[in-house]
Structure 1
Amino acid sequence: MTSRVDVVVVGGGQAGLAAGYHLRRLGLDFVVLDAEATPGGAWQHTWDSLHLFSPAAYSSLPGRLMPTQRGQTYPDAGHVVEYLAEYEKRYELPVQRGVHVHAVRRDGDRVRVESDSGTWQARAVISATGTWSRPFLPAVPGQDIFAGRQLHTVDYRRPADFAGQRVIVVGGGNSGAQIAADLALDRVHLTWVTQRPPRFLADDIDGRALFDVATARRRALDEGRSDTGGVASLGDIVAVPPVRAARDAGLPAAKPMFTRFTTTGVQWADGSGVLADAIIWCTGFRPALSYLAPLRLRGQRGHIATDGTRAVDEPRLHLLGYGDWTGPASATLIGVGRPARDAARAISQLLAEEAKRVR
């Protein structure tokens, strides 16, 4: 069976919900297709100790402030899941769950969205699938002979799972620092490895300042002024309370990236090495866009060329929440609201122009 709507939003996490909010306000007929069985997007799959690095008021989607969490300046992931579930219900967003979209194709003057639960014909599509389902692991010589476990950020839950073990955490971003801090404060023999020396932001900088910096950079670029460097100019790691506590307690100094695996651990270029029972790769993600392959839009690093959120070579497709290339700070709760609004407005204008041509 094929259903017809104005807009299909693929992904029901924070970006998809923000898009739904603005589509609802504009009176468009839309559906949100989400592969998850329950609300909350990727937040329901994170490690136990994860907290936001912004207060609740600075971590809100459009139209609804996130409530504060008792006893917490920075809400935990469970609180975010509750907020997203309440947000979806509050605005009666038409989310269909357990729907896996496997292809989007051009279909005359529409696009066809194919899934394991049916097909939709839409006049526009918003891709909001995020990155959590596409963890990236770099290739390192000898990786296949290592006898220990190899995990990614998406697999990590709690230090107790590694009690008494020798663990190497690879990654100098926020996830790497937070998981390293989590393990350093427990009964784990930790080695922290980063591509370059870790750069901690000043202790008084959190998500509020980072959003302002990212927005100022985008404004400068849009106005033709010199690049301010954005958040990257300040550092890589937000010193959230657990990271600060581990750092102040003597978080092991980060070692440079190792050059090869052995059967029992890793080795550096100078021949030194360490034994390891597990490696946790905190090495980032790639955008989950494989279902858009039939449109033949992919460019470097899997990105699709965009003008704002709109795909340059397919005006009926908008991409939302994947990073600065789809809107400044659009991969954050507070940052996704503005590009979601812009995408919804652009689609509304496109549909209005098409309606005029038909008349």
Structure 2
Amino acid sequence: MTKVWDAIVIGGGQAGLATGYHLRKLGLRFLILEATEQAAGSWPKYYDSLKLFSPARFSSLPGMKFPGNPDKYPSKSEVVSYLKDYTKHFELPVMIDKQIVSVEKINKEFTVRTKSGKEFQSKTIINATGSFQSPYKPLIRGQEIFKGGIIHSSEYQKPDAFVNQRIVVVGRGNSAVQIVIELAGVSKTTLAVRQPVHLIKQRLLGRDIHFWLKVTGFDTFPFWRFGKTTPSSNSVIDLGQYSEQLAQGSPDQQPMFTSFDSDGVIWSEGRNEKVDTVIFATGYQNNITHLKEIGAIDSNGHPFHVGGVSTSVQGLYYVGLEGQRSFSSATLRGVGSDAQYVVRKLVRYLKDNS
């Protein structure tokens, strides 16, 4: 007889692990299906120099503090180690190399199919896939004739391959600025922006900015309850001498180029410039196409949900969506609260449908 789980969590990164913690705490029978070879989400694939924008004291999943100095800004490798330790500590039932291709629902039961052909049955689904696998690259005129390199920031690892090149990084968020500052040390680099970068200090009145976000309640304010989307921040946290370097023009900022030509880009004033590589640090799109068949997403790939509870498919939930319930949703410090809320809703659903 095929086993039917209480819940299947799709995705074994920070959102999936936080969800697993709350499912385990309530004694539910569940699995976490992770597409890659380890339960660390997208962290192993990020660029090598990446650091968290929040200190360790504000960067923990539920039930287990981030180790080490609470005022330190953890590195990529430290986050990966933390997630691995978290999985082991709570004995979370993660199955790796389980890439999901489709989800079907017949009556009140879901069937999850993997790329290898394996199937799992469950009463509920919690999607926690994140968006790293769906990088957004804008289409810009002349892109097809450009002879240089075009990559997304998700493909960037370290500056070694870009020494002495002419680089243009497109974007004005934290990753764009961190990458362009790093590359400025080995190449001639420009940040192409629609609007100038807005930097905010990492520390205010002796405290990290995340302390003030927490004590003011802004970090977890439930905008969604008032029918409003969570405001996204276009500000960049200055993790080092960002403001100094940008002010000195190393790297410089220029208004976004209008098009490519075969050798480079054409800037807004009509000037052509030869460029070796363009890096799009332009964010990501939702990675939930496997939910299309059950009517869970709209024509643009966005899920129908309120606070992580699907409004189109009963028994379907989300954790890890940007702005899902608060400003801190989809971050290490925010997924635990969202997971707890969603699991409570899931338990009520199971009771009502038992």
TM-score by length of 1: 0.91
Retained in 2: the 8 A contact 1:214–1:231?
no
4+ aligned runs moved over 4 Å, structure 1:
222-225, 227-231
- Tell me the CA shift for residue 242 of structure 1: 5.8
Query: Residue deviations 1:166-200, cap 9 Å, x none?
Result: 1110000111000011111x220111101211111
Q: Which residue of 1 aligns with 2:151?
A: 151
The residue identity in structure 1 corresponding to 2:261 is T
- Tell me the CA shift for residue 314 of structure 1: 1.2
Q: Which residue of 2 aligns with 1:307?
A: 306
SS in 2 for 1:314: coil
SS in 2 for 1:291: helix
Query: Residue deviations 1:123-182, cap 9 Å, x none?
Result: 100000000000000010000000011111111111111001111100001110000111
- Tell me the CA shift for residue 273 of structure 1: 2.5
- Tell me the CA shift for residue 203 of structure 1: 3.9
The residue correspondences of 1:302-341 to structure 2 (distance < 5 A) are 302-325=301-324, 327-341=326-340
Q: How far apart are the structure 2 equivalents of 1:54 and 1:164? A: 32
Q: Which residue of 2 aligns with 1:52?
A: 52
Alpha-carbon spacing, 1:284–1:224, altered in 2? closer, same or farther (3 Å): closer
Query: Residue deviations 1:5-46, cap 9 Å, x none?
Result: 110000000000000000001111000000110232111011
Q: Which residue of 1 aligns with 2:41?
A: 41
Q: Which residue of 2 aligns with 1:172?
A: 172
- Tell me the CA shift for residue 278 of structure 1: 0.5
Retained in 2: the 8 A contact 1:69–1:75?
no
- Tell me the CA shift for residue 244 of structure 1: 5.0
Retained in 2: the 8 A contact 1:320–1:327?
no
- 1:75 paired to 2:77: no
- Tell me the CA shift for residue 222 of structure 1: 5.7
Q: Which residue of 2 aligns with 1:181?
A: 181
SS in 2 for 1:339: helix
Alpha-carbon spacing, 1:45–1:215, altered in 2? closer, same or farther (3 Å): farther
- 1:290 paired to 2:289: yes
Q: How far apart are the structure 2 equivalents of 1:10 and 1:131? A: 13
Q: Which residue of 2 aligns with 1:219?
A: 221
Query: Residue deviations 1:309-358, cap 9 Å, x none?
Result: 10111121111102103554221000111110011111111111112xxx
Q: Which residue of 2 aligns with 1:19?
A: 19
Q: How far apart are the structure 2 equivalents of 1:247 and 1:24? A: 47
The residue identity in structure 1 corresponding to 2:127 is S
- Tell me the CA shift for residue 55 of structure 1: 1.1
- Tell me the CA shift for residue 59 of structure 1: 0.4
- 1:88 paired to 2:90: no
SS in 2 for 1:105: strand
Alpha-carbon spacing, 1:88–1:245, altered in 2? closer, same or farther (3 Å): farther
- Tell me the CA shift for residue 296 of structure 1: 1.8
Alpha-carbon spacing, 1:59–1:100, altered in 2? closer, same or farther (3 Å): same
Q: How far apart are the structure 1 equivalents of 2:198 and 2:261? A: 29
Alpha-carbon spacing, 1:220–1:82, altered in 2? closer, same or farther (3 Å): closer
Q: Which residue of 1 aligns with 2:119?
A: 119
The residue identity in structure 2 corresponding to 1:279 is V
Ranges in structure 2 where 5+ consecutive residues have no aligned partner: none
The range that moved more, 306-315 or 207-216, is 207-216
Q: How far apart are the structure 2 equivalents of 1:129 and 1:269? A: 38
Q: How far apart are the structure 1 equivalents of 2:223 and 2:271? A: 45
Q: How far apart are the structure 2 equivalents of 1:272 and 1:19? A: 51
Q: How far apart are the structure 2 equivalents of 1:251 and 1:318? A: 45
The range that moved more, 149-158 or 203-212, is 203-212
- Tell me the CA shift for residue 224 of structure 1: 4.7
Q: How far apart are the structure 2 equivalents of 1:292 and 1:207? A: 37
The residue identity in structure 2 corresponding to 1:256 is P
The residue identity in structure 1 corresponding to 2:296 is L
Q: How far apart are the structure 2 equivalents of 1:215 and 1:34? A: 33
The range that moved more, 199-208 or 105-114, is 199-208
Tell me how many residue pairs correspond in the alignment. 350
- 1:133 paired to 2:133: yes
Alpha-carbon spacing, 1:219–1:190, altered in 2? closer, same or farther (3 Å): closer
Q: Which residue of 2 aligns with 1:260?
A: 259
The residue identity in structure 2 corresponding to 1:14 is Q
The residue identity in structure 1 corresponding to 2:122 is A
* Identical columns (%): 34
The residue correspondences of 1:237-248 to structure 2 (distance < 5 A) are 237-241=236-240, 243-244=242-243, 246-247=245-246
SS in 2 for 1:51: coil
The residue identity in structure 2 corresponding to 1:105 is E
**Aligned residues: CA RMSD:** 2.4
